[in-house]
Amino acid sequence: MSNIVAIVGRPNVGKSTIFNRFTESRQAITDEVSGVTRDRHYGKAEWNGREFSVIDTGGYVQGSVDIFETEIRKQVELAIDEANVILFLVDAKVGITDLDQAVVKLLRKSNKKVVLAVNKVDNSKLLEDAVEFYNLGLGEYIPVASISGSGTGELLDELIKHFDDNVELAEDDAPKFAVIGRPNVGKSSIINALIGKEQNIVTDIAGTTRDSINTKYTQFGFDFTLVDTAGLRKKKNVYEDLEFYSVMRSVRAIEHSDVCIHVIDAQRGFEAQDQSIFHIADKNKKGIVILVNKWDLIDKTTATSKKVEEQIKQKIAPFTDVPIVFVSALEKQRLLKGLETAIQVHKNRKQRIATSVLNEVMLPLIEHYPPPAVKGKYIQIKYCTQLPTDTPTFVFFANLPQYIKDAYKRYIENQLRQHFDFCGVPIQIYFRKK
């Protein structure tokens, strides 16, 4: 486990900008509108050979009745509990506010090491004004300008002084499972139910999750990273800039994952938008598991699940070899079954078939049902092998590969799926000249 720095402060002091600068990325969404960050957001950073984790939190607001702000408050408190060092950020242009004082009270209760940074110090006048932050009673402060990067080196030097030297950072090579789907299908609820705590904010309002949030899962013998994503919707329905960035981030999370856990709403069924999301995962050649959530709200007979499964497979054709699990995040039904299935799909995606075994199985099948002749020319497939790629990719060597039609390609794929377990995994097949 690595040392953890939690960035806290009231809304719009520049926490996400500092987070992006530390992690040398654009992971956290930044905007002039206050209250953009809602969930805790994790990233990796390095300074002078020391690696550590950074947590970006939503702006802390006290006494608000706003549903998001209440939830954000809980998230900030959880982040403070997790962290080794707390970076408390304030705004030099605004000065000390009541909210800053409220955050200080919260930090005093935590008994954690707090480093005070005064942000937006863009000129010497603001540097002079920053003296007033001594009144917070947190001792020395470090002036920074997160947008230009001024002072961030000194700030990082100060942070690593307070790290625990005994903490080692384990190399994170665990598989990544992206939880994807339309807005409000229960993605965050599923993750919260699995990890057993309210890590990701859940409300009835569609579009609550904005960032892609990574969660390490190491229970029941499992070891992988769950990525909660913003709900994907049609581009024409994306009005705000913020939402556009959230959707883009979700697409990027799919690209960087190993398996996509596609959550759909049992009450609404597999809609056109679900089809589009499925095809994004399929196009990126990711392993796919479909979880039908809110199954507890459906009036069922013994044949209901089979009927729903058939309907889904019709809509995802031609790639129908996808496991479908019926779950309920609220009742915590079959969630572990969903995880087991995702792990199996990941193993299927990583499996390598020896060339000798592949030829032993496939060549007699090809001989029994060869590609149809074209213009009196007979097509002979003589040899096949699996390529060393991230996703299962096979090359078949033939005398006339240009004449092999898509229908025969599908036959080959079906035979591969029948004889080797590639459930939930897209397969790529190429024909080359021998």
Give me 387's structure tokens: 């390529």
pLDDT tens string 148-182: 888 999 999 999 988 877 654 444 567 889 898 88
> What is the average per-residue pLDDT within 386-409?
93
Tokens 């965050």: give the residue.
188
Let me know: does 379 contact 405? Beta carbons within 8 Å: no
Amino acid of residue 69: E
Q: How much of the chain exceeds pLDDT 90, in percent?
A: 38
Q: Is the pLDDT of residue 100 over 90?
A: no
| 375: enclosing H helix or E strand | none
> Each residue of 194-203: b (16+ CB within 10 Å) or e?
bbeeebbbbe
- Cβ neighbours for 382, distance < 8 A, ≥ 6 positions apart: 397, 398, 399, 434
Tokens 């990233």: give the residue.
43
Let me know: does 361 contact 327? Beta carbons within 8 Å: no
Q: How many whole angstroms separate alpha carbon 349 and alpha carbon 427?
A: 9
pLDDT tens string 8-40: 888 888 888 888 888 887 655 444 444 444 445
Tokens 């013998």: give the residue.
221
73 pLDDT tier (thresholds 50, 70, 90): low
What's this model's pTM, rounded to 2 decimal places? 0.60
pLDDT tens string 258-289: 999 999 999 999 988 888 889 888 988 999 99
Q: How many whole angstroms separate alpha carbon 293 and alpha carbon 260?
A: 15
Question: Could you count the other beta carbons within 10 Å of the beta carbon of residue 111?
Answer: 7
Q: Is the pLDDT of residue 221 over 90?
A: no
CA 311 remoteness from chain centre = 28
pLDDT tens string 190-218: 888 887 766 444 444 444 444 446 677 77
- Cβ neighbours for 62, distance < 8 A, ≥ 6 positions apart: 73, 99, 102
pLDDT tens string 342-360: 999 999 999 999 999 999 9
